[in-house]
């Protein structure tokens, strides 16, 4: 079973990062930015970066991904920096990983394995731990041969089956059995989550989605005034979806859910494992795509998230871009960004969770969007309620947004105009309210 880098390694690994984009890909224009992000991932996993190596490839080498000359250069760099871990920014095939470890004599992983490791460390709930374990096992299954290289010397020739191969087959069966078990358990959890969502039927639901560390948790904490929402300036601080009620005033409220952040080259096993959790996104009436306005690569990050959302089948869900951390930009850059985005993506909003927490109205544009969305779903209706029915009158004010109220002394009724959820309106009519 896969374990964390932090569990397997000394207190701090000394890592060398390798970036080798294909020449014809756009990645070669962002090599340093991608390595900077990989360095942050390594830091989150508990490693210290001691060196980097880059190469532009016509095509990846099928045996070692990078060219023979770069492998030799990497060997020298390992010796100079006393490195203990090699991290590739691109995904390695099982054969490439095995060959590189044999050539370099050091543990070699790729970006996907590093992200899985971080998720393993940060998973807190039982569901998240099962999801991460499932992704790790599915990732490691084709790579089990790599883990048993220390038994190769026991393998014989034709017709001879050594203990290494026997153990490998045993491990494959055990891993396959564990994968089936985890999928069954996660299916049960998904059913429970569906029941929970059923209890929220009728409530307006919005979800925060976006690149990791864009500030989604900070927004949820500030707009819901929930101090227990965990916030940390690190990648993947939040893995479990968290829903809080947001009071919009005038007896209006919505449910807002914070979801796991996305990242470039997110392992597909991880996306598949977290699909049940991401059902919260599918159930949302409105998505807020949170973007870190202060990040130099926010445009690439936006496209990454849009691709994942399309893969999840929520491309048709109403979505508003939310440019967060506007307070981190100089005034001139703020105005230039606003002008550009208003042409690129009309309807985008600009906020600051930090200003909200300082007492300013940094998230008021989000509240306005939520109020408008709520009103659009709750058409204006006129009701008549007997003046003697005090309890029902109180329910009207509690369950909806009252726009006007007028007493009709002759008929002995209150004429009320307001906006109500369909379920609330049906309940009021059952209790005696008459639509006019």
The reply, when asked if residue 81 is annotated as ligand binding, is: no
The reply, when asked if residue 239 is annotated as ligand binding, is: yes
The reply, when asked if residue 258 is annotated as ligand binding, is: yes
The reply, when asked if residue 354 is annotated as ligand binding, is: yes
Three-state SS at 43: helix
The reply, when asked if residue 162 is annotated as ligand binding, is: no
- 36 contacts 2 by C-beta, under 8 angstroms: no
What separation in angstroms does the CA of 204 have from each of 58, 193, 243, 256, 304?
51, 17, 12, 9, 27
Q: Which of 372, 398, 1 is closest to 174 using CA atoms?
A: 1
DSSP β-bridge partners for residue 85 = 15, 107
The reply, when asked if residue 236 is annotated as ligand binding, is: yes
The reply, when asked if residue 213 is annotated as ligand binding, is: yes
The reply, when asked if residue 147 is annotated as ligand binding, is: no
The reply, when asked if residue 237 is annotated as ligand binding, is: yes
The reply, when asked if residue 215 is annotated as ligand binding, is: yes
Sequence-ordered list of residues with C-beta below 8 angstroms from that of 190, at least 6 positions apart, any chain:
276, 279
The reply, when asked if residue 211 is annotated as ligand binding, is: yes
Q: What is the dihedral of CA 194, 196, 199, 203, to 10 degrees?
A: -90
What order of strands is seen across the sheet that includes strand 85-88?
47-54, 13-19, 85-88, 107-110
The reply, when asked if residue 387 is annotated as ligand binding, is: no
The reply, when asked if residue 238 is annotated as ligand binding, is: yes
The reply, when asked if residue 319 is annotated as ligand binding, is: no
Cβ–Cβ contacts within 10 Å for residue 132, how many? Answer: 25
At residue 398, φ and ψ (nearest 5 deg) are -80, -35
The reply, when asked if residue 353 is annotated as ligand binding, is: yes
- 89 contacts 57 by C-beta, under 8 angstroms: no
**289 burial via Cβ count (<10 Å: 0-12, 13-18, 19+):** buried
The reply, when asked if residue 327 is annotated as ligand binding, is: yes
The reply, when asked if residue 216 is annotated as ligand binding, is: yes
Cα separation, 390 vs 396, in Å, equals 10
CA pseudo-torsion sign 153, 156, 157, 159: negative
Q: Which of 178, 90, 87 is closest to 138 using CA atoms?
A: 178
The reply, when asked if residue 240 is annotated as ligand binding, is: yes
The reply, when asked if residue 157 is annotated as ligand binding, is: no
The reply, when asked if residue 61 is annotated as ligand binding, is: no
Tokens of 45: 């996993």
The reply, when asked if residue 175 is annotated as ligand binding, is: no
Tokens of 314: 């929520």
Cα separation, 294 vs 93, in Å, equals 35
Residue 339 CA, chain-centre distance (Å), reads 28
The reply, when asked if residue 226 is annotated as ligand binding, is: no
DSSP H helices in 204-330: 216-224, 268-273, 279-282, 298-311
Binding residues for GTP: 210-217, 236-240, 258-261, 324-327, 352-354
Binding residues: 210-217, 236-240, 258-261, 324-327, 352-354
Binding residues for Mg(2+): 217, 238
């Amino acid at each position: 079973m896969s374990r964390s880098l932090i569990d397997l390694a000394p207190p701090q690994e000394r890592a060398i990062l390798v970036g080798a984009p294909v020449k014809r890909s756009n990645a070669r224009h962002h090599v340093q930015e991608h390595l900077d992000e990989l360095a942050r991932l390594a830091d989150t996993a508990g490693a210290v970066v001691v060196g980097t190596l880059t190469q532009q490839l016509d095509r990846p080498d099928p045996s070692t991904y990078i060219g023979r000359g770069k492998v030799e250069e990497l060997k020298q760099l390992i010796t100079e920096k006393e490195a203990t871990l090699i991290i590739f920014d691109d995904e390695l095939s099982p054969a490439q990983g095995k060959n590189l470890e044999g050539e370099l004599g050091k543990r070699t992983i790729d970006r996907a394995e590093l992200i899985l490791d971080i998720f393993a460390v940060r998973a807190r709930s039982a569901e998240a731990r099962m999801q991460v374990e499932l992704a790790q096992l599915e990732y490691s299954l084709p790579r089990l041969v790599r883990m048993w290289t220390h038994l190769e010397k026991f393998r014989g020739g034709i017709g001879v089956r050594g203990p290494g191969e026997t153990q490998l087959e045993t491990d494959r069966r055990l891993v396959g059995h564990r994968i089936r078990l985890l999928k069954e358990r996660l299916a049960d959890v998904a059913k429970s989550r569906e029941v929970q969502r059923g209890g929220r039927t009728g409530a307006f639901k919005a979800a925060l989605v976006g690149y990791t560390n864009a500030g989604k948790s900070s927004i949820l904490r500030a707009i819901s005034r929930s101090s227990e929402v965990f916030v940390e300036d690190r990648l993947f601080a939040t893995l479990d979806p968290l829903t809080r009620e947001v009071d919009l005033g005038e007896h209006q409220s919505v449910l807002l859910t914070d979801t796991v952040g996305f990242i470039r080259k997110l392992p597909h096993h991880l996306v598949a494992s977290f699909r049940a959790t991401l059902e919260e996104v599918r159930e949302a009436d409105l998505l807020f795509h949170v973007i870190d306005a202060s990040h130099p690569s926010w445009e690439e990050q936006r496209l990454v998230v849009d691709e994942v959302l399309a893969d999840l089948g929520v491309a048709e869900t109403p979505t508003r871009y939310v440019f967060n951390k506007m307070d981190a930009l100089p005034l001139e850059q703020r105005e230039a960004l606003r002008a550009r985005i208003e042409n690129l993506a009309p309807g985008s909003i600009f906020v600051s969770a930090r200003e909200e927490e300082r007492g300013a109205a940094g998230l008021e544009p989000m509240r306005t969007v939520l109020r408008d969305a709520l009103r659009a779903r709750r058409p204006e209706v006129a009701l008549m309620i007997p003046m003697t029915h005090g309890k029902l009158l109180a329910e009207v004010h509690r369950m909806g947004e009252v726009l006007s109220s007028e007493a009709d002394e002759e008929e002995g009724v209150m004429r009320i105009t307001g906006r109500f959820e369909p379920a609330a309106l049906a309940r009021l009519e059952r209790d005696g309210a008459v639509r006019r």
